[in-house]
Structure formats: structure tokens, C-alpha cells
């Protein structure tokens, strides 16, 4: 599912232009996530400077993958039909408490939070939980016990990996999550043991693997999707996004934004597990996409609607943190498409770009362009890696024309060792991630 947040400001005087910011969120997941699995959909709006209008969108359906739980908003439209039995394809809201059978300890719960929303049969939660909800009716409560095969599987000894002492980096600690592998083949593992000779034992199993789980589940209702939303875009023009999900969980988070009077973050919020040279981490070209085909289609559709507001054949686009593909519409009619990114071979392969510049924004957060050059600035699934986002957003503000639009997209799938600390602190917090991204442009003067 792709989500987007959009805020637009009408163009004011040239010396104090209002720009529009749009943040798109696609939620996918990873089997290495330790939390109970679910999904999120939504979108909200964030201003880049003075925003005149705020609108939230969540972009249509996509092929969903497992991800950490993000609870549904209480503002979600919910159908309460006490005779209806939950079936495959239904999007349901449930309350639950999960405990470990071995000691009765609670490992996950919706207590004190909004109900969990997921689609039955869409592989958004573990298999046993999905099957248990089928046939339930609103108000019904059940207790189920899931063997490992119905949950996170059995532990596998071949996923225990020894790391020689000479390859153990300084400061490695038991319980720490690190990335293992080369190029695009890196996977997250946890440090299981540091041995006396300085070597380490790494564990690629899920922390929940091999455990028998018990759940108490209550079906709260069925979620009704409301599609179609009006948003503000280029030069403040308003238009309809027909495939937007207007009542998704994150869609509410910035409906009435309240920005902090001062920059709320500290240097620690932008620390990363792996502070080594990024050029070593991204040492090989990655001619892959990091979101699925349906998500890409939704983003392209969203871009297309925004780009259509500008004069065709005349507008200019800058794609930052770019690669070999920018996910723009195939019939893109821009006069100029500039891209910046990390790897020259990836940038050179981008067929829609008219020009490119190699730039590591974590080292040099300065865009190599003049003031007021672009109608749109875009970014796909990279904002969570920026360790100087305030400076980068200042630069986006500078290079955008008055009334221009910035579009940021992000996902809860990432290289966790390279993402900033406050992002990975809760990978399931879609509304929180939107708030983080929305705060960056609110600090632009």
C-alpha cells in the first residue's frame, strides 16, 4: 500500500515563497522484524515553509507484504455487523494480547492503542493469527495457541554465523542488530555472543522463532475504505486523487498539524548503528527497486496527477537520492529532469534524466543548483537515511520555485544500520514517521 501526505501553499511574494510538500509512504516489511506482523496505510500533509492548505491521501491498493504492526486510527470508518463472519478479503479491526506460552509474558498487545487493522488472507499477519480470525463475528472473543510453524517458524542452526575476531568491529555488543553481507545482499542479524577470543556469534533467526505463542483476540469491526480526496498541488491548484484512501490510519496524523516552536531533535536522534563511510556500504551498483510493482504504479499515478497541474513540456523536476529509476510516469513531459545520487553508474542508467550530479547529502548537504530552479523535488525511500535532514530540506526550499512541490516517499523497509536512530526506534510507527518527515520542512525559514 502506498500512502502520501500532501500540503500545498499558494505562491506568495518571491522573497518569501510558499512551497508545497507531499510525502508518500509505502509500507512493506521484512521477515526479520521481531514484532507481531501487520500493515499500515495512510497519508497526511506537511508544509515546506508556509502552507496554505493541508490534505491527506493514501494511495490505492498494492500487493502487501508482512510488516510490523501499525494500529488503525479510531477515525477509520468501521462497519459493525454482528451477523457478518470474517472471511478472506475482509479488512478487519481486532484487539489482541500475545503472550509466550513458556512463561506467560506479554510480547505484544493492542492494550492502550487503537485496534489492529489487517486484510484476511493478504499475508499481513502470521499464518495462525490470520486463520484464527476467519469466521469470527463482531464482539466475539477467542483464545488460540500457535505452534512455531503457524507463527515465526522453528529456529535454524544454519542461521547462526561465526564472525572471526579480525572482522569484529570495535564496540560490537550482545543484542545489537547489524547488517551482514555484500552490496544489495545485506541482511539484518543480531549479535548472540562475543567469545573470549574476540570472535562473535551472529544470529539471523527471528527473535520469535521456535516459540509457541498464545493470543486473546477480539473482533472489533470491519474497515470500510473511503476513496477519493482533494489535495493542493503546484501553484496551489486543487485536484482530485481518485485512488486515494481518505480514511486510512496515517491520513489523520497531519490533518490539523501542530509544529513545535523550535527544532525538537537532538544529535542522538540522527545517529546510526553504522557510522562508517557510506561509500563502503553502497559499494556496488544496485539495479533493483525497493518497493513492489503495485506501489511503484501508485507513486507514478500520484506523480502524474501532480505533474499534470504544471504546463506540459515546460516544468522541471529534481529527484534527490536518485538511482537508475525515478518511478516517474512513463509519459513524463518535463522539460528538465535533474537527478542527484550516490553511485555514478546507477545515475547514468536513468533513462528519464536529462542530467545528473553525484552527491552524498550526508557528507555535503548542499544541492548543486541555483535558487528557484525546479517546479518539483522528489525523493523515494531515502529520507530515513538523511543524517542532516534539516539542511537538506532547507536546500529543497531554496531550489524550488515559488509554489513548487516537494514529494517525499518512505517505507518501513530499510537498511536499519544506516537509517537514523529515531526512525528505527519503532519501525511500525507510520504516523510517527510522517510526523518526523513533516517536522523537517516546518523548520525551514
pLDDT classification of 185: cutoffs 50, 70, 90: low
Residue 51, judged by CB atoms within 10 A of its CB (0-12, 13-18, 19+), counts as buried
Quick one: pLDDT at residue 28?
A: 26
Radius of gyration of the chain (CA): 22
Looking at residue 325, what DSSP letter applies? -
How close are the terminal C-alpha atoms of the chain, in Å?
33
For the structural domain made of 78-152+209-223, what CATH number should be given?
A: 3.10.50.40
For the structural domain made of 2-67+229-442, what CATH number should be given?
A: 3.40.50.150
Angle at 444 between CA 24 and CA 305, to 5 degrees: 30
Q: Which CATH architecture has domain 157-203?
A: Beta Barrel (2.40)
pLDDT classification of 434: cutoffs 50, 70, 90: confident
For residues 417 and 369, the model is more confident at 369
Among 76, 68, 6, CA closest to 40: 68
Angle at 189 between CA 183 and CA 190, to 5 degrees: 145
Share of the chain above pLDDT 70, in %: 75
Burial annotation 236-272 (CB, 10 A radius, 16+ → b, else e): bbeeebebbbbbbbbbbbbeebeeeeeeebeeeebeb
Q: Does the pLDDT at position 73 exceed 50?
A: no
Helical ranges in 136-273 per DSSP H: none
Residue 17, judged by CB atoms within 10 A of its CB (0-12, 13-18, 19+), counts as buried
CA 62: distance to chain centroid? 14
Residue 34 has which C-alpha cell?
A: 521481531
Residue 338 has which C-alpha cell?
A: 535533474
Answer yes or no: pTM beyond 0.95. no
Looking at residue 443, what DSSP letter applies? T
Residue count (the chain): 445
CA 193: distance to chain centroid? 31
Mean pLDDT of all residues in the chain?
A: 78
* pLDDT tens figures, 360-394: 999 999 999 999 999 999 999 899 999 999 999 99
Q: What is the dihedral of CA 370, 372, 378, 381, to 10 degrees?
A: 60
Q: Do domains 78-152+209-223 and 157-203 have the same CATH topology?
A: no
Quick one: pLDDT at residue 222?
A: 92
For residues 325 and 16, the model is more confident at 325
* Distance (Å) of CA 36 to CA 98, 174, 362, 427: 9, 23, 33, 12
Residue 200 has which C-alpha cell?
A: 562473535
* pLDDT tens figures, 334-362: 999 999 998 888 899 999 999 999 999 99
**CB-based contact 406:377 (threshold 8 Å):** yes
Q: How far apart are CA 53 and CA 196, in angstroms?
A: 60
Q: Does the pLDDT at position 19 exceed 50?
A: no
Domain spans, the chain: 2-67+229-442, 78-152+209-223, 157-203
* pLDDT tens figures, 281-304: 665 555 556 667 877 888 899 999
**CB-based contact 91:221 (threshold 8 Å):** no
Pairing of strands 213-223, 37-38: unpaired
**CB-based contact 235:309 (threshold 8 Å):** yes
Helical ranges in 92-234 per DSSP H: 127-133
Quick one: pLDDT at residue 256?
A: 73
Looking at residue 73, what DSSP letter applies? P
- SS3 assignment, position 7: strand
Q: How far apart are CA 397 and CA 374, in angstroms?
A: 10
Amino acid at each position: 500500500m502506498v500512502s502520501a501526505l500532501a500540503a500545498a501553499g499558494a505562491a506568495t511574494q518571491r522573497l518569501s515563497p510558499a512551497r508545497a510538500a507531499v510525502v508518500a509512504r509505502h509500507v512493506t516489511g521484512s521477515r526479520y522484524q521481531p514484532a507481531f506482523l501487520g500493515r499500515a496505510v495512510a497519508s497526511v500533509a506537511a508544509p515546506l515553509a508556509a502552507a496554505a492548505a493541508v490534505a491527506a491521501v493514501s494511495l490505492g491498493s498494492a500487493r502487501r507484504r508482512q510488516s510490523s504492526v501499525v494500529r488503525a486510527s479510531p477515525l477509520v470508518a468501521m462497519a459493525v455487523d454482528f451477523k457478518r463472519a470474517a472471511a478472506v478479503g475482509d479488512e478487519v479491526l481486532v484487539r489482541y494480547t500475545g503472550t509466550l506460552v513458556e512463561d506467560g509474558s506479554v510480547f505484544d498487545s493492542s492494550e492502550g492503542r487503537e485496534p489492529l487493522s489487517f486484510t484476511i488472507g493478504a499475508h499481513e499477519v502470521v499464518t495462525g493469527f490470520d486463520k484464527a480470525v476467519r469466521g469470527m463475528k463482531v464482539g466475539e472473543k477467542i483464545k488460540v495457541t500457535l505452534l512455531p510453524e503457524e507463527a515465526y517458524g522453528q529456529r535454524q542452526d544454519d542461521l547462526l554465523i561465526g564472525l572471526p575476531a579480525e572482522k569484529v568491529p570495535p564496540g560490537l555488543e550482545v543484542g545489537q542488530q547489524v547488517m551482514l553481507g555484500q552490496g544489495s545482499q545485506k541482511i539484518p542479524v543480531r549479535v548472540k555472543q562475543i567469545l573470549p577470543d574476540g570472535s562473535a556469534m551472529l544470529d539471523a533467526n527471528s527473535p520469535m522463532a521456535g516459540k509457541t505463542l498464545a493470543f486473546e483476540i477480539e473482533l472489533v469491526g470491519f474497515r470500510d475504505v473511503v476513496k477519493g480526496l482533494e489535495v493542493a498541488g503546484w501553484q496551489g491548484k486543487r485536484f482530485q486523487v481518485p485512488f486515494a484512501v481518505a480514511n486510512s490510519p496515517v491520513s489523520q496524523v497531519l490533518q490539523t498539524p501542530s509544529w513545535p516552536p523550535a527544532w525538537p531533535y537532538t544529535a542522538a536522534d540522527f545517529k546510526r548503528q553504522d557510522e562508517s563511510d557510506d561509500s563502503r556500504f553502497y559499494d556496488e551498483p544496485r539495479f533493483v527497486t525497493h518497493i513492489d510493482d503495485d506501489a511503484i504504479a501508485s507513486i507514478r499515478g500520484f506523480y502524474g496527477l501532480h505533474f499534470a497541474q504544471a504546463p506540459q513540456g515546460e516544468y522541471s523536476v529534481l529527484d534527490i537520492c536518485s538511482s537508475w529509476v525515478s518511478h516517474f510516469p512513463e509519459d513524463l513531459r518535463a522539460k528538465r529532469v535533474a537527478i542527484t545520487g550516490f553511485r555514478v553508474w546507477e545515475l547514468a542508467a536513468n533513462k528519464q534524466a536529462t542530467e545528473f550530479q553525484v552527491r552524498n547529502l550526508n557528507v555535503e548537504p548542499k544541492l548543486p543548483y541555483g535558487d528557484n530552479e525546479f517546479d518539483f523535488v522528489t525523493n523515494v525511500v531515502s529520507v530515513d537515511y538523511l543524517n542532516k535532514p534539516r539542511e537538506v530540506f532547507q536546500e529543497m526550499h531554496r531550489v524550488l520555485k515559488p509554489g513548487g512541490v516537494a514529494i517525499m516517499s518512505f517505507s518501513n523497509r530499510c537498511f536499519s544500520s544506516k537509517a537514523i536512530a529515531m526512525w528505527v526506534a519503532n519501525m511500525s510507527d507510520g504516523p510517527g514517521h510522517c510526523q518526523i518527515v513533516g517536522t523537517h520542512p516546518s523548520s525551514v525559514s
